[in-house]
Structure 1
Amino acid sequence: MARHKRIERRRELDRRRHRRKKRAKLRAKGLLPPAEGNQQAESR
């Protein structure tokens, strides 16, 4: 069971990282303004 939890956690981390990458791409395009305050909530 612990192993399963670890896998789930890794999957969640990957999903979060992917989402951040996608948002960074949008920001690079100029669709999203670079939010400094949002960065802290993102890293949590």
Structure 2
Amino acid sequence: MKPELRYSFRLGKNIFDQSYKNAFYKLLFVLISITSLMLFPVRFI
């Protein structure tokens, strides 16, 4: 494998991992906010 190809592959994998983590944290944040809305509805009104 050529070094340029390996570097771009690693870069693509890093970007994919970061976007996957970001999507996971966004989903986690949405779940937490929904549950807190259900648990403490008074605070958000």
Q: How many residues align?
A: 31
| Contiguous gaps of at least 5 residues in structure 1 | 32-44
Same amino acid, percent of matched pairs: 6
Which structure exhibits the higher relative contact order, with contacts defined as CA atoms closer than 8 Å and separated by 6 or more residues? 1
TM-score by length of 1: 0.66
Larger radius of gyration: 2
Structure 1 runs (4+) deviating above 6 angstroms are none
| Contiguous gaps of at least 5 residues in structure 2 | 1-5, 37-45
